[in-house]
Structure 1
Amino acid sequence: MIQLKGIHKVYDDGFQALQDINLTFEEGKINVLIGPSGCGKTTTMKLLNRLTDYTEGQILIDGKDIQQINPIELRRQMGYVIQNIGLFPHMTIFDNVATVPKLLKWDKQKIKQKVDELLRMVNLDPEVYRDRYPAELSGGQQQRIGVIRALAAEPSTILMDEPFSALDPISREQLQEELVRLQQEINKTIVFVTHDMDEAIKIADQIIIMKSGHVVQKGSPQEILANPANDFVKEFIGEERLGSALPPVKDLMTGTFATIDITQSLDEAIQTMIDQQDNDIPIVDQDHKYVGMLDLFSALKQKERKIKDVLTNQKTIVETTAMEQVISDELLEHQAMIPVVSNDDKVVGIIKREKWLEVLQHFYQLKRGGQ
């Protein structure tokens, strides 16, 4: 966890870049700093690895004051991704990614394993890309290398200063999606600077909106879209985005639900659905992983059969799914209940049709201005 307490930054010419900044960057979250040019977002980020020092206040990383940490050691403990990537053109992709592990004197075999693992993580075959040079890669591929180079020494914190802004729109969108997916695996504390509100909404767990060295508002994308703090925030977000926030999956699902093991009998499943007053129930295997849904009417018609012969391979929502994707997929068109699964395919909740329709009705009322 990173905490900024009462931070002020005043330059030698008297310019006050930051005024009384109080922030917490929670472990394992993507924290996006956003605001107009000169608002202090990049300065705030550079304080964290002491590329610049603050004038007043205190910054703690896991409870330790960063002023007590050697700046070089501090920077080696943090990954840093910048807009122009900064790959060394005369070095292979392997050597670029291995830069900090080599400085830390890691074992050669450990370095090779780590580089190959990271390349695979961003869907770049090590056998194909390990010995290439940056000039042989596309802009999007180079930026992927920039990201995994920042991960190579296994830092707990990654700083990202407008890393995708120089890319074309398609590459940029792909890398945004890649970052969100990657974060599910690496679970790092990420501080991400951008000027693009759509990017912030797409990737952030916490958005921090800044203006003239102050934090104007902070919160989840849903919180900020639903409740902008003032006219500046409304204008910065843009009227077209306001009211368009769907609640996260965790706010829609209920964690109280029954499941049936696929080895149980249909009679047992029918009785459970009657007891729960549900027409559908998730079916799981012996490892508690989701395998499908059973509906009551199919079960009643085919009581002599086994569950595996009657269940339907119904669509699911992964708990990290964006709700906009659910709308576009029309997931609930024929489903009374949506099972919500974790990344390891275990059922963690359900969303009932009536709850989803209630949310959709409210969503489209807001989109129409409440008419």
Structure 2
Amino acid sequence: MIELKSVNKVYDDGFQALKNINLTFDEGKINVLIGPSGCGKTTTMKLLNRLVDHTDGTILVEGKDIQEMNPIQLRRQMGYVIQSIGLFPHMTIYDNVATVPKLLRWNKSKIDETVHRLLNLVNLEPETFKKRYPSELSGGQQQRIGVIRALAAEPDIILMDEPFSALDPISREQLQDELTHLQAEINKTIVFVTHDMDEAIKIADQIILMKDGEVVQKGSPHELLTEPKNDFVKEFIGTERLQKAETLPLVREMMNQDFVSTYVSESIDEALNKLINHNLTQLPVINNKQYAGFVTIKDLLKGSEETVSNVINTDQKTLKPSDEASQAMRLLKEQELNEVTVLTDQNEIAGVVNYKDISEALQNYYEKQQGVV
């Protein structure tokens, strides 16, 4: 977790770039800093890896004051992706990606495995691309390398400073899609600076809108679109975007609360019967009223364990009732499952969402928009 407490930044010429910033970047989420030029978004991000030091206040990373940390060590714990990509032109793609692991003295086999895995992660075939040089790649391919180079040392935090803004619109949209797909797998805390509201709405879990060195509003894309705090927020987002978002359904409006589940203490046969009788492919698992994970038919059939507790999967991402329809669709697509579980803040199951639920909710929404109902 990253926390900024009463943070100010005053430059030597007396200009105050940041004014009493109190902010938490959500762990394992894409946090987007946005605002007009000179609002302080890039300065805020650069404080996190001490490319710029704050004047007063406290910045905590995983509970540690960064002023008490060695700046070099701090930066090696964070990935950093910039607009100009910044690949070393005289080094191969392999050596570019392996830069920080080599500084950390990883052994060659671990570096080889990491480079190959990351290239595959962004759909660049390792044997084809690892021996090439940056000049032999397109702009979009170079930026993909910039992203995975930031991931190579397995940092928990990735800083991204307008990484896609120099690309053509098609490449930019492709990389936005790729980033959201990638995040579903790597689950990092990402701080992403942009000036593009459409980009922020598309990729963000949390948007932080800034003006004149202050945070004006923060929240999910849906919260900013449906509950803009003041006229500046409305103007920055734009009338057309606000109108489109006025009645877009949330997960709570489309989830099925009449769901079938199993319990950790139930037998494999009992869980299988539930799946078969209800024509399902997976079941959420409950342990003392708390969500414990899920099981699929494949899980239940693969072993001879007596109870569900021995075959639980915990790698499926879940939703909150306040999440948007687009987030539900994204998780369904990325995880290649038929439904996603919706959890309360108390980690209890509120319901489940599947493609049919979302399609019906969106159909009702568009019919209302067109005056059909």
Q: TM-score, normalised by structure 2?
A: 0.77
The 5 A counterparts of 1:81-100 are 81-100=81-100
**Inter-CA distance 133–207: structure 2 relative to 1 (3 Å threshold):** same
Superposed CA deviations along residues 141-188 of structure 1, whole A, max 9, x for unmatched, are: 000000000000111100000000000111100100000000011110
**Contact residue 50 and residue 71 of structure 1 kept, 8 A:** yes
Provide the C-alpha distance between the structure 2 equivalents of 1:270 and 1:40, rounded to a whole number of angstroms.
Answer: 53
1:8 paired residue number: 8
When residues 354 and 188 of structure 1 are mapped into structure 2, their CA distance, relative to the original with a 3 A threshold, is: closer
Partner Cα separation in structure 2 for residue 220 and residue 143 of structure 1: 26
Q: Aligned partner of 1:103: which letter? A: L
In 2, distance between residues paired with 1:103 and 1:353? 50
Superposition pairs of residues 1-371 of structure 1, within 5 angstroms: 1-245=1-245, 246-249=248-251, 252-254=254-256, 256-258=258-260, 282-284=280-282, 288-289=295-296, 323=325, 343=335, 345=337, 347=339, 348=341, 349-350=352-353, 357=360, 361=364, 365=368
Note closer, same or farther for the CA distance 1:342–1:192 as it changes in structure 2 (3 Å cut): closer
CA-CA distance at 1:340 after TM superposition? 6.1
Deviation at 1:345, TM superposition (A): 3.0
Q: CA deviation at 1:343?
A: 1.9
SS where residue 244 of structure 2 aligns?
Answer: coil
Question: 2: CA distance between counterparts of 1:9 and 1:259?
Answer: 52
**Pair 319,244 (structure 1): closer, same or farther in 2 beyond 3 Å:** farther
The code of the aligned residue for 1:323 comes to: A
CA RMSD in angstroms, aligned pairs only: 3.5
Q: How far apart are the structure 1 equivalents of 2:326 and 2:64?
A: 40
Distance 1:241 1:364, change over 3 A: farther
Amino acid of the structure 1 residue aligned with 2:25: F
- The whole-number CA distance in structure 1 between the counterparts of 2:295 and 2:61 is 38
Contact 1:9/1:19 (8 A) holds in 2: yes
Change (3 A) 1:258 1:76: same
Does the CA contact (< 8 Å) of 2:3 and 2:25 recur in 1?
Answer: yes
TM-superposed deviation, 1:30: 0.3
1:73-97 C-alpha deviation (Å, 9 max, x unpaired): 1011100000010000000000000
The question of whether the paired residues in 1 share the 8 Å contact of 2:222 and 2:324 is answered with: no
Flag structure 2 segments of 5+ consecutive residues without an equivalent. 284-293, 299-316, 342-351
Q: 1:207 to 1:271 in 2, by over 3 A?
A: closer
Tell me which amino acid in the other structure corresponds to 1:343: Q
Once the two structures are aligned, what percentage of the paired residues are identical?
63
Residues 15 and 254 of structure 1, relative CA distance in 2, 3 Å threshold: same
Structure 1 unaligned residues grouped into runs of 5+:
274-280, 292-317, 328-338
What residue is the counterpart of 1:311 in the other structure? Answer: none
SS at match of 2:114: helix
> 1:78 and 1:87, CA in 2 relative to 1: closer, same or farther beyond 3 A?
same
Contact 2:79 2:157 (C-alpha < 8 Å) held by counterparts: yes
* Cα distance change on mapping 1:251 and 1:115 into 2, 3 Å: farther
Q: CA deviation at 1:350?
A: 3.5
Note closer, same or farther for the CA distance 1:262–1:163 as it changes in structure 2 (3 Å cut): same
TM-score of the pair, normalised by structure 1:
0.77
How far apart are residue 13 of structure 1 and its match? Answer: 1.1
CA contact (8 A) 1:93 1:130 kept: yes
Q: Is the 8 A contact 2:275 2:281 kept in 1?
A: no
Q: Distance in 1 between matches of 2:249 and 2:90?
A: 47
Alpha-carbon deviation of 1:250? 6.4
Q: Is the 8 A contact 2:249 2:324 kept in 1?
A: no
Deviations 1:338-367 (A, max 9, x none): x968826374323597886566545665x5
Q: CA deviation at 1:12?
A: 1.1
Q: CA deviation at 1:20?
A: 0.8
* 1:342–1:128 CA distance, 2 compared to 1 (3 A): closer
Give the counterpart letter for 1:28 in structure 2: G
Q: Give the count of matched residue pairs.
A: 323
Distance of aligned partners of 1:352 and 1:37 in 2 relative to their CA distance in 1, 3 Å threshold: closer
Taking a change above 3 Å as real, the CA distance of residues 290 and 239 of structure 1, as seen in their structure-2 partners, is: farther
Report Cα offsets for 1:56-112 as digits up to 9, x if no partner: 110001110000000011011100000010000000000000111111111111111
| In 1: Cα distance, 2:52 partner to 2:276 partner | 66
Over 3 Å counting, the alpha-carbon distance change for 1:12 and 1:271 in structure 2 is closer
User: Are the aligned partners of 1:289 and 1:345 in contact in 2 as well (CA < 8 Å)?
Assistant: no
Give the counterpart letter for 1:282 in structure 2: L
